Amino acid sequence: MNANLFALFERAFPADRARVALATPAGGSLSYAALDAGSARLAGLLATLGLQPGDRVSVQVPKSAEAVLLYLACLRAGFVFHPLNDAYRQAELAWLVADASPALVVCDPAAADLFGAIAPAGCRVMTLADDGSGSLMAAAAATTALPATVVRKSSDLAILLYTSGTTGTPKGAMITHGNLAANVLALVEAWGFGPADRLLHALPLYHAHGLFVGLGCALASGASLLLLPRFDAAAVLAALPACTVMMGVPTYYTRLLQQPGLDRAACTGVRLFISGSAPLAPATFAAFRERTGHEMLERYGMTETGMNTSNPLHGERRPGSVGLPLPGVSVRITGSDGQPLPAGATGEIELRGPNVFAGYWRQPDKSAEAFTADGWFRTGDQGHIDGDGYLTISGRSKDLVISGGLNVYPREVELALEALPDVAEAAVIGAPHPEFGEAVVAVVVARADARPAEAVIIRALKDRLAAYKVPKRVFIVPELPRNAMGKIEKTTLRQRHAATFATQDPPG
Ligand code: AMP
């Protein structure tokens, strides 16, 4: 059987190809027949450009139906899709394009000169604008469709996706057709996707969440997608009644909660709200349930592995936990000596399964470091597994604060802060401290109309946490720095607060 991910999608296409595969808010739509024909034509074009199977196609384009066709065309023709965040600027792009060494770049017409200057010798540059105009679709219109999906082995690369780089230099994760197929089949089963579903897709296509999880679940189940160009709370609220499933990062849900129109009536057609990519605050889970009657389903994944664990479709969705391992995925927790730890103990989260990537592009040393001697992937996340198998994440290993020799898991302190009535969001970091090595620092966003005082917050936490976990300083800010996926940029916070204890003795 052809292990090409597109072949898996093709098998799930509905018998009636006139059914809608993808719709846009402006009223445009592509049937499954049009999705098939359009991606086959683009694949035919790519094949005539002299690319060889395995060659990279670097893509920085606005989100559109044509961008989806381009992704599918790369799969069909056996090329490696390399999506680029549209926020990246020249220096970042130059580094990433040099590393990926693509044979073709597709970019927004406005960036054609920039890519022309940074593309490697022999690499072609084509353009695709948000309305589908540009040289790519014009050339495809005059091309013959690729007659058949190229045969790929499950170990062949499908996507080169760079880690989002909130902690240092990005690394290119090599994701195979087999990784994507195994993960998407597990998700379709776990989340009950079927042809009757319509997915509200507001996520970017340059990240695992929107690309493999969002597009993947819809296309592997013959469902349809409502493709929004970006997240806009009012537009999402207006689109909800036509959708059955929504996927988002926690910030999408906190922004939706700020919309007065979010209520039970707005969500009557929706069967499932899924959250991931960053921790979902239990207060957000509770507020969303209160307003809409829906318990959000939180899951845990990453660029290198796709999705790993999920709260159940049927069964307890535990706030603060990322749920149980997906079918085929094994999860264990290890201590600093690398030995597996018992239930309840906190350590590094390690994973094994067909979803785990093939290593980092052209970085054999980093690839080797990412795996244990017995073949488990070290996630760099810390957490614990309850006796009944639910996993809870307590932070990134790099974010762990060691104060006076004691480990402080930032997420535990953040949860305690977010449980205070005046606190909307919290981020906890370590700052260099002359006595303790590092000291706990909290950066907090207040709830609307609340004016919490630093001393009051510190006092309240002293009742709830061991003294060494209580922040020595609490900074109240209007907004936390976040990347496009809603992840708090802790590196930025650490830089901002690095000198907190350098010159003066802190209060508390
Ligand atoms: P990325 O590779 O950009 O998708 O980032 C993956 C990282 O996001 C993981 O290693 C976790 O640290 C974090 N992450 C993803 N989902 C969750 C979640 N539900 N709760 C907490 N952290 C998450």
CATH of the domain at 89: 3.40.50.12780
On whether the CB atoms of residues 491 and 429 are closer than 8 A, the answer is no
What is the three-class DSSP state of 453?
coil
Which pLDDT tens digit goes with each residue over 440-456? 999 999 998 899 999 99
How far away, in angstroms, is 403 Cα from ligand 1 center? 24
**Taking 50 as the threshold, does the pLDDT of residue 62 lie above it?**
yes
How far away, in angstroms, is 300 Cα from ligand 1 center? 6
pLDDT of amino acid 466:
84
On whether the CB atoms of residues 501 and 431 are closer than 8 A, the answer is yes
How far away, in angstroms, is 307 Cα from ligand 1 center? 10
How far away, in angstroms, is 37 Cα from ligand 1 center? 36
How far away, in angstroms, is 383 Cα from ligand 1 center? 12
Is 240 part of any domain? no
pLDDT band for position 170 (cuts 50, 70, 90): confident
pLDDT of amino acid 487:
87
Which pLDDT tens digit goes with each residue over 123-148? 999 999 999 999 999 999 999 999 99
**Taking 60 as the threshold, does the pLDDT of residue 473 lie above it?**
yes
What separation in angstroms does the CA of 252 have from each of 158, 202, 255, 280?
29, 9, 5, 11
pLDDT of amino acid 396:
83
Is 136 part of any domain? yes
pLDDT of amino acid 166:
45
Ligand 1 atom nearest the C-alpha of 395 is 12
For ligand 1, mutation pick of 164, 251, 302 (most atoms within 8 Å of CB): 302
**Amino acid sitting at position 75:** L
Residue whose CA is at the smallest distance from ligand 1 atom 23: 278
Mean pLDDT to the nearest integer, 275-304:
95
Q: Which residues contact 451 (CB under 8 A, 6 or more apart)?
A: 422
Residue whose CA is at the smallest distance from ligand 1 atom 21: 279
Is 79 part of any domain? yes
Encoding tokens for residue 9? Answer: 């999608």
How far away, in angstroms, is 86 Cα from ligand 1 center? 20
Residue whose CA is at the smallest distance from ligand 1 atom 6: 302
pTM of the complete model: 0.90
The rounded Cα 473 to chain-centroid distance in angstroms is 31
Instruction: Name the least confident of 26-35, 110-119, 324-333, 496-505.
Output: 496-505
pLDDT band for position 241 (cuts 50, 70, 90): very high
Mean pLDDT to the nearest integer, 47-61:
95
Is 159 part of any domain? yes
For ligand 1, mutation pick of 381, 397, 482 (most atoms within 8 Å of CB): 381
Give the N- to C-terminal CA distance of the chain in Å, as an integer.
65
**Tally of domains in the chain:** 2
pLDDT of amino acid 164:
60
Q: Share the mean pLDDT of the chain.
A: 94
**Taking 60 as the threshold, does the pLDDT of residue 508 lie above it?**
no
- End-of-domain residue from the set 230, 262, 282: 230
Which pLDDT tens digit goes with each residue over 338-349? 999 999 999 999
How far away, in angstroms, is 500 Cα from ligand 1 center? 28
Owning domain of residue 91: 5-230
Ligand 1 atom nearest the C-alpha of 379 is 10
Pairing of strands 324-325, 306-310: antiparallel
How far away, in angstroms, is 31 Cα from ligand 1 center? 33
Residue whose CA is at the smallest distance from ligand 1 atom 4: 302
pLDDT of amino acid 507:
43
The length of the chain is 508
On whether the CB atoms of residues 476 and 446 are closer than 8 A, the answer is yes
Is 307 part of any domain? no
Residue whose CA is at the smallest distance from ligand 1 atom 16: 277
Which pLDDT tens digit goes with each residue over 405-444? 778 889 889 999 999 999 999 999 999 988 788 899 999 9
Encoding tokens for residue 479? Answer: 């907004």
Is 16 part of any domain? yes
Is 204 part of any domain? yes
How far away, in angstroms, is 302 Cα from ligand 1 center? 5
How far away, in angstroms, is 485 Cα from ligand 1 center? 9
pLDDT band for position 6 (cuts 50, 70, 90): very high
Residue whose CA is at the smallest distance from ligand 1 atom 3: 164
Encoding tokens for residue 223? Answer: 């469902």
**Taking 70 as the threshold, does the pLDDT of residue 168 lie above it?**
no
Sign of CA dihedral 219, 75, 177, 230: negative
pLDDT of amino acid 503:
62
Residue whose CA is at the smallest distance from ligand 1 atom 15: 277
**Residues with a CB atom less than 6 Å from ligand 1:** 163-164, 208, 276-279, 298, 300-303, 322, 379, 381, 393, 396, 485
Is 222 part of any domain? yes
What separation in angstroms does the CA of 207 have from each of 56, 68, 204, 281?
17, 13, 6, 22
Q: Which residues contact 421 (CB under 8 A, 6 or more apart)?
A: 447, 450
Q: What is the CATH number of the domain that holds 457?
A: 3.30.300.30
For ligand 1, mutation pick of 212, 300, 307 (most atoms within 8 Å of CB): 300
- End-of-domain residue from the set 213, 230, 247: 230
pLDDT of amino acid 167:
47
pLDDT band for position 184 (cuts 50, 70, 90): very high
**Taking 90 as the threshold, does the pLDDT of residue 319 lie above it?**
yes
On whether the CB atoms of residues 263 and 291 are closer than 8 A, the answer is yes
pLDDT band for position 67 (cuts 50, 70, 90): very high
Which pLDDT tens digit goes with each residue over 254-264? 899 999 999 99
Residue whose CA is at the smallest distance from ligand 1 atom 22: 278
How far away, in angstroms, is 83 Cα from ligand 1 center? 19
Mean pLDDT to the nearest integer, 351-375:
96
Ligand 1 atom nearest the C-alpha of 209 is 4
Mean pLDDT to the nearest integer, 204-217:
96
- End-of-domain residue from the set 230, 263, 283: 230
